[in-house]
Amino acid sequence: MNLLDSFLIHYLGRFDKYCFEVKLHGKSYVIGEGKPLFQIIVNNEIPKKDLLASTTMALAEAYMRGDIDIEGDLFTVIRSLLEQSDQFSLDRKKFNYLLNPPEDRRTQEKEVSSHYDLGNDFYSLWLDPTLSYSCAYFKDETDTLEQAQRNKVDYILQKLHLEKGMTLLDIGCGWGFLLIEAARRYGVKGFGCTLSHEQWAMGQERIRELGLEDQVEIELMDYRDLPSTGRRFDCAASVGMLEHVGRSQYEIYMDTVEAVLKDGGRFLLHYIDGRDEVKSNPWIRKYIFPGGTLPTLAEIIQLAYKGSFHLLDAENLRPHYYKTLMCWYENFRKVHEQVAAARGRQFVRMWDLYLCGCAAAFYIGYIEVHQLLFTKGTNNTLPMVRWF
């Protein structure tokens, strides 16, 4: 069996940690040793220049177009390749426009809108009823996705040690579920900001339906404008938003939270982090999260301590995000035909790759998710042990 029959076969030969089969032009090629875990069916060749420019872009776009198909479990395919990411090709110069985009306000607003304004109807198809679009918290293996999302919000609110009458800020508040739960259960006054018009509209609707107009506000605004409002908060939370800030803006972000938080106030930061400051995926930047950048844990801790923040607790929820994404993926698979009818088969394949690919990335530790709990300055009024 001659691997030089095709450059694609030759190229895939580098990913031989796990055994798989490739079918091309009526021939079968086995990569690795043992029994194949899956099959890649090549319907149209992938150009050599594309593979050498970016492994992820070339293979993912080919899958989206239907140039390649998979027989077997998509999660297993992505996990097997991602575990060998040191073999990936990436021409950083060619994809510099994706890897290092402008991080000005107008650009970032468009980037956020491109993902979160796909439509509330779309997200309602496969998210749980709370419309929580971040890592859930599975206290028990039998927890449903909805229960796990409620667990997550409960956990965050407990960590913030809320008391009736306090003020709570949610930066990047999504559809407002965390603020609403804080108002209903703890009697706090909540304020949220988002750049998504769709999320803002549903947030307003939820607030009105529950009669919480005097307790919860959500505004369409950039987080950098928060200090100019003159508002100061007892506590702040930010869940799944830091990934959209951009590396050049991390210090501004932390300074902004510090500026609007009262002395002794608590700040819960929940975000996805990378293992280093270099790795990046141009495909996900182009199709899923334009401008998305993952900070490292070290970066955020360093910036926190440049200011007045004190770290009280750090928790890695990586396995929880793997499970969350697999729940979303299974839900999304159930509505494939409905989504395909509205947005096309290529869109469905793209989102399968995104959801399943991210699940694989968390599973192998390629990326992680942390919850960090800070106080602004010292706070000697909190319990001496983990109260949550």
Query: Which residue numbers are catalytic?
Result: 358
CB 161 within 8 A of CB 387: yes
d(CA 350, CA 327): 17
DSSP letter string, 100-127: S---SHHHHHHHHHHHHTS-HHHHHTTS
Q: Which amino acid is at 138?
A: F
Positions of E strands within the chain: 20-24, 27-31, 39-42, 68-71, 167-171, 189-194, 216-220, 233-239, 261-274, 309-316, 367-376
Burial (CB < 10 A; 0-12, 13-18, 19+), residue 242, is buried
Task: Name 2's bridge partners.
Answer: none
Positions of E strands within 37-93: 39-42, 68-71
Of how many residues is the chain composed? Answer: 388
Buried b (16+ CB within 10 A) or exposed e, 253-263: bbebbbebbee
Helix (H, G, I), strand (E, B) or coil at 318: helix
Angle between helices 250-260 and 297-306 (to 10 degrees): 50
DSSP type of residue 45: P
The values of phi and psi at residue 22, to 5°, are -120, 130
- 189-194 sheet: strands from edge to edge: 216-220, 189-194, 167-171, 233-239, 261-274, 367-376, 309-316
Q: Which amino acid is at 71?
A: E
CA dist 42 → 39, 46, 69, 208, 376 (Å): 10, 9, 7, 53, 56
Tokens in use for 320? 């929880």
